[in-house]
A and B are shown apart, each in its own frame.
Chain A
Amino acid sequence: MDWRRFGFIALIIIVLFSVVVFIGQVKQPPLLIITSMLATTIAVATPLTLGALSGVFCERAGVVNIGIEGMMLTSAFFGWLGAIYSYHIFGFGNWTSIILGVVFAVITGALMALLHAALSVTFKVDQIIGGTVINILAVGLTGFLNRQLFFGQGSVFGGNVPGSPGVLQTLHIIPLTELFAPICGASEICLRNIQAINRVFDQKPIALAAILLVFISHYILFNTRWGLRTRAVGEHPKAADTVGINVTKMRYANVIIGGMFAGLAGAYFTIESVPSFEPLLTNGRGFISLAAMIFGNWTPIGAWAAALVFGSSQAMLINMQIFRDVIPPQLAFLQESYIVGLTPYILTMFILTGIIGRTTPPAADGVPYEK
């Protein structure tokens, strides 16, 4: 474990939270602020975490993937489209359609990844260029189809954007409120605090799955044969080849797994968060997850921690505006959201300078394998 890195990340998150609590306490109880920020942090970090995991799998196998953004966008569109078609055209029920939508998104992610793998492993196209192609293609394809399918009377739904079957619902898996209700008894404050704390754990399925996947990925990468082979292919493909590992196959498989993660991240946007698709709705989050991956030194847990940094800075920005009118005058710069909004970007650059330990990419990352 890289304690220096994690200590630094924890420190940033604590500082960000403290600032908000310090300013907001005149308006809201600190506990409520903290739990609300934690809940926001986890939700905001979800697509970033999944995107970063996508990057981790690709790059551990030696394929640079800057097309995460495009994969997410395409998956978000086709997942949403799949849900709508299942619901309106094929007549499935709400839940079936929603789940089919997630499946569609993951498949789309895998297909986009297959394209990336074909370009970078088989055709040996420069991998960063392959990713760029995917990003540009995603913008054009989703924007064009979104328009052609839902605008104008000749389109399938006669010019209306049909209602989607809905979104994944919040899961209440840790019933703190119910457990503590008898203990709190008649105490209103106790009950309210428990509810506030419970809010942190009340997340939607993909958000919860993302956290689970972080640990599963960690286990797979560092404790299984598959993981060992993946890393071997990414660090030293020649040696891996010599001992009989099929480099091409391993790279294809891992890029496709990565694509599925990006697909799930896409599903988060249109099936878990908001039940509609808008052009460009990923808004650069794929690039942020790339930064999170590097921030976390190509490890699943590190990437997750980094995604939480981005999440918490987002939570801070939102709360800073909610508490805008109680910001003390000597901290007036906190009102300038354009400037406060720079925090995660500057932090990322700071991290990259190696100040908290060098980030070390897999040795063969980005290098096509030639026998």
Chain B
Amino acid sequence: MQTEKPNSLTSQILQSISNASLIPFLAILTAVILGGIIIKIVGGDPFLAYKGLIQGSLGSAKALSETAIWATPYIFAGLAVALAFKGGLFNIGAEGQLAVGAVFSALIGYGLPEWLGYDLPAIIHLPLAIGVGMLMGGIWAGIVGALKAYTGGHEVINTIMMNYIALNTTSFLLNGVMKDPSPNNVIARTPLIAESARISPLFEGLRVHWGFVLALLVAFLIWWLLNKTTLGFEIRTVGLNPDAAQYAGINVKRTIIVTMLLSGMLAGLAGSIEVTGLNYRHELGFSIGYGYDAIAIALLGKSHPLGIVLSSFLFAAMRNGATRMQFLTQLPVDLISMLQALILLFVAADAIVRYIYRIKSKGERVVLTRGWGG
């Protein structure tokens, strides 16, 4: 596959940097231009629309804070998908793992003090709420990993099925035993979690909370894990070539399970942080679509933690700015989905972008998944 001509080291490095950032940048640019043409065709004002998007996502401290709030679950879930990609696995199930994490965090958050009969100190309660949610998300994905390792059941189908199971079970719980019993409540949601299980805001008057800082920290941690530890090396090796990994003495089955477990923990963390940092309860349906957006984010970020943080910001800004865009132009929110799909299309098919901007193609191609085999 390596067909590139021998180059000097510097030019190789330069090329890899330009490859990592130039193509996504051009992809975004192309998508934005194409999106603008589409807006124009349907009779909208593209400049006003983009102005709204930018104002609404970056225009003020409040706007920035809301963008950060949107970015927080995206970073966690994006890392979840990316980690699985690195291990050669496609985790479509972030959606379900996120919901499971959120349910358990909420349960610990409101239920534990009730059950114990006394309040816990925040220093124990909060980590416990987050930890349990994270762990349950991990187990939810770990089941799929184990099925993959021991029976060969493909993770794509199994994670999709686990999504359905998670969402139905959550609905069942939130309409039943976990439903907020206060007399005025009619919707499927849990009671508010205790004060001691809440993440405090970063600044007075803004909603952005310490969970955002945690997200950035975790992104760094994942980079470190993947690049500086034995486990990370094993995950990457299994991802690149499981047969070679086997020969090299890596326990492939164990690595697959651990990869899915970690991936699920990250997705569960996304749900936990939303509950403990923002909503203070689990309300049915709050997380719809995060798991799927996460796939796009992981792809856009080329599965690199830094790339994921950046692409999370991009997606968050688009989602957050959508309000202002709608207010100014009354264009539908679906426009954002379309823009995101176009960006993804051009990132995935970088040959198109390369062609448009006459950038020379070089050999290396990232293989993220490996069909149904495994």
A interface with B by C-beta (< 8 Å): 59, 64, 66, 118-119, 122-130, 132-133, 135-137, 139-141, 143-149, 151-152, 154, 279, 284, 287, 290-291, 294, 336, 338-339, 341-342, 345-346, 348-349, 352-354, 358, 361, 363, 365-367, 370
A325 CB, nearest partner CB in chain B, Å: 20
| Majority DSSP secondary structure for residues of B touching A | helix
Chain B residues contacting A139 (CB-CB under 8 Å) are 334, 337, 341
**In the complex, A126→B298 CA distance in Å?**
14
B339 CB, nearest partner CB in chain A, Å: 7
**In the complex, A122→B151 CA distance in Å?**
33
Interface-centre pick from A148, A354, A370 (highest chain B CB count, 10 A) = A148
A238 CB, nearest partner CB in chain B, Å: 15
Task: Verify A352–B349 contact, CB threshold 8 A.
Answer: no
Chain A residues contacting B200 (CB-CB under 8 Å) are none
**In the complex, A6→B304 CA distance in Å?**
45
Task: Verify B151–A365 contact, CB threshold 8 A.
Answer: no
Nearest first, the 5 A-B pairs at minimum CB distance are A366-B371, A140-B338, A140-B337, A143-B334, A352-B153
Chain B residues contacting A64 (CB-CB under 8 Å) are 371-372
Task: Produce 1/0 per residue, B328-355, CB < 8 A to A.
Answer: 0010101111111110110011011000
Chain B residues contacting A59 (CB-CB under 8 Å) are 372
Chain B residues contacting A152 (CB-CB under 8 Å) are 330
CB < 8 Å neighbour of A361 from B299, B367, B372: B372
Q: Which residue of B lies closest to A354 (CB)?
A: B151
Task: Verify B161–A345 contact, CB threshold 8 A.
Answer: yes
Task: Verify B153–A133 contact, CB threshold 8 A.
Answer: no
* Tally of contacts, chain A with chain B, CB under 8 A: 154
B241 CB, nearest partner CB in chain A, Å: 13
CB-CB under 8 A for A119 and B168, given A64-B372, A144-B334: no
Q: Which residue of B lies closest to A353 (CB)?
A: B151
Give residues 139-181 of B contacting A (CB, 8 Å).
Answer: 147, 151-154, 156-158, 160-162, 164-165, 168-169, 171-172, 175
Question: How many positions in chain B have a CB within 8 Å of any CB in the partner chain?
Answer: 54
CB < 8 Å neighbour of B341 from A140, A145, A284, A291: A140
Chain A residues contacting B330 (CB-CB under 8 Å) are 152
| Majority DSSP secondary structure for residues of A touching B | helix
CB < 8 Å neighbour of A339 from B42, B172, B336, B345: B172
**In the complex, A66→B154 CA distance in Å?**
13
The reply on B369 being an interface residue by CB < 8 A is yes
Chain A residues contacting B344 (CB-CB under 8 Å) are 132-133, 136
Task: Verify A353–B348 contact, CB threshold 8 A.
Answer: no
Chain A residues contacting B369 (CB-CB under 8 Å) are 126-129, 366
CB < 8 Å neighbour of B1 from A294, A365, A370: A370
The reply on B368 being an interface residue by CB < 8 A is yes
**In the complex, A238→B269 CA distance in Å?**
45
Task: Produce 1/0 per residue, B350-374, CB < 8 A to A.
Answer: 0110000000000001111111110
CB < 8 Å neighbour of A342 from B165, B340, B371, B372: B165
Give residues 40-74 of B contacting A (CB, 8 Å).
Answer: 42-44
The reply on B79 being an interface residue by CB < 8 A is no
List 26 interface pairs A-B (beta carbons < 8 Å), by A numbering.
Answer: A64-B372, A118-B349, A123-B351, A123-B352, A129-B299, A129-B348, A132-B299, A132-B344, A140-B338, A141-B338, A143-B338, A147-B332, A147-B334, A148-B44, A279-B334, A287-B160, A294-B372, A339-B168, A345-B164, A346-B165, A348-B157, A349-B153, A349-B157, A349-B161, A349-B162, A361-B373
- Known contacts A129-B368, A136-B337, A291-B160; 11 additional CB pairs below 8 A are A125-B349, A137-B342, A141-B338, A143-B334, A144-B337, A294-B372, A349-B153, A354-B153, A358-B152, A363-B373, A366-B373
